[in-house]
Copies of this chain bind each other. A is one copy, B any other.
Amino acid sequence: MKKKKILLNAFSMNCVNHINHGLWTHPRDQSENYNDIAYWTDLAKLLERGKFDGLFLADIVGVYDVYQDSVDLTLRESIQLPVNDPMMLISAMAHVTEHLGFGVTANLSYEQPFLFARKLSTLDHLTKGRIGWNIVTGYLESAARAVGLSTQLDHDQRYDRADEFMEVVYKLWEGSWEDDAVLRDRKRRIYAQPDRVHKVDHRGDYYRVEAIHLSEPSLQRTPVLYQAGSSGRGQVFAGRHAECIFISSQTKEAARKLVTEARRSAVTQGREANDVKVFMGLTVVVAPTEKEAWDLFQEYTAYASPEAGLAHFSSGTGIDFSKYAMDEPIRAVKNNAIESLVKTVTNPELDWTKRKLLEQLALGGRYATIVGSPSQVADALEDWIRDTDIDGFNLTRTVSPESFEAFVDLVIPVLQQRGIYKTEYEDGSLRQKIFGCGNRLSAKHISAGYRAQVRERAAQDVAV
């Protein structure tokens, strides 16, 4: 049986620390240069040299203020604060690369769908179809207060609103301009054909939009859709919309379950099981030999901040871990969102304590970690793929950019020799590169129902 090729995103964020907290203090870490464009263009070129599928940029709106009921540690340790807008980085990186994809996280809860759709269309145009959008609905009370709300919508309502937001942007991206709307005919002086451009008229529970989409059709129209929801309602949303699903798990059993659920949810929504690609968050510490890798791991842990990782996790779960004694069982709150987060940090079958969490957070971050020589790392990646049916990885940074450099220089060649990683990029959009089925979303995806041509045909059918 032919082994599947591993998909690979680098995972980063427009800020100092991302997932592995505290490592900005390492003497070789350059992440405090996040405001230099060259930091990002150098990274993009490095990743393209390593044939990465994409750079996946996280984002957060709001601050982490649950731990110690304060934002103090967040500021001192720079736990994703300050954090700048990721979209502003894209055109510079797209200019110095040809194939690398860009997955940008954007919280739809505080965006106008009409203006948001234009932002993503602009980026899809400028990147020639290399843009993806990681759909998030947000979970921080501090974000709600920042935009003038006394509190956020409850969890399931946020997803109801998100479903409607998606409907609006599909109408704008897929339905407003027909494929042949733009002629660019200089002789006849016709840039676009008015009868091929349609006004969207959406009146829903959360949004009302009456407008022509401001952007002409881009290569992908709808960007590649990423999503990370692992709650029940989040999984339904992902099954309906997501093309790439981002999970994190400490155990293969839990990962396998998440993958199965993700594919099943897509099938339930009338799609194919392989219409979703699943990426797992992963931290890798690699060096030429196993011993050097463990030495490097030890060196990194001396700078990492498990407490900052815990503070980050406090906001994710809503539990202020500062209030717990080291060996006190943590059973405080139980709900789906928290349980799914707990899975990312520890084996959910075991009792968990702050001590165990901190051990798990030795590198300051909560993702599964592989330490070893290039072939050991390659073995481990193969095992994860084989045992869990995931499609690839979102690779975190530790010391930046050296952790990505090491992966590109040491691990990628091994994966290529084993025939489980591309040696050349395919042509075409990010969607075509990942799925090999064209630039547009498949006809089975919910967005297809909003295409202008489909709508026109449906109207004709009715008329006949």
Contact = CB atoms under 8 A, between A and B. Distances in A.
B147 A115 contact: yes
Contacts of A209: 145-148
A88 B91 contact: yes
Contact of A194 (B75, B211, B212): B75
B85 A118 contact: yes
A226 interface: no
Given A71-B212, A92-B95, A146-B209, 18 more contacts: A32-B184, A35-B218, A37-B91, A37-B94, A61-B115, A75-B192, A75-B193, A76-B189, A76-B193, A81-B212, A85-B118, A88-B122, A91-B91, A92-B92, A95-B96, A110-B115, A114-B146, A147-B209
- Which of A32, A71, A82 has its CB near the most chain B CB atoms (within 10 A)? A82
A88 to B, nearest CB: 5
Interface in A97-128: 110-112, 114-115, 118-119, 121-123, 125-126
A22 interface: yes
B27 A215 contact: no
Interface string A342-372: 0000000000000000000000000000000
A41 interface: yes
B71 A125 contact: no
Interface string A198-227: 000000000111111011101000000000
Interface in A213-246: 214-216, 218
Interface string A150-174: 0000000000000000000000000
Contacts of A121: 84
B35 A125 contact: yes
Given A115-B147, A208-B148, A27 B186 contact: yes
Contacts of A22: 189
Interface string A55-77: 00000011100000011100111
B145 A189 contact: no
A84 B37 contact: no
A88 B147 contact: no
Interface residues of A, number: 76
Contacts of A95: 37-38, 41, 92, 95-96
A25 interface: yes
Interface string A130-152: 00000000000010011110000
Contacts of A71: 194, 197, 212
20 contacts: A24-B186, A35-B125, A63-B212, A70-B194, A71-B194, A71-B197, A75-B191, A75-B192, A75-B193, A76-B190, A76-B192, A81-B212, A84-B122, A84-B125, A85-B119, A85-B122, A115-B147, A145-B209, A145-B210, A146-B211
A206 B77 CA distance: 35
Contacts of A119: 85, 88
Nearest to A192: B75
A192 B38 CA distance: 23
Nearest to A202: B148
A81 B37 contact: no
- Which of A41, A76, A187 has its CB near the most chain B CB atoms (within 10 A)? A76
A214 B305 contact: no
Interface string A4-43: 0000000000101000001011110000100101101100
A87 interface: yes
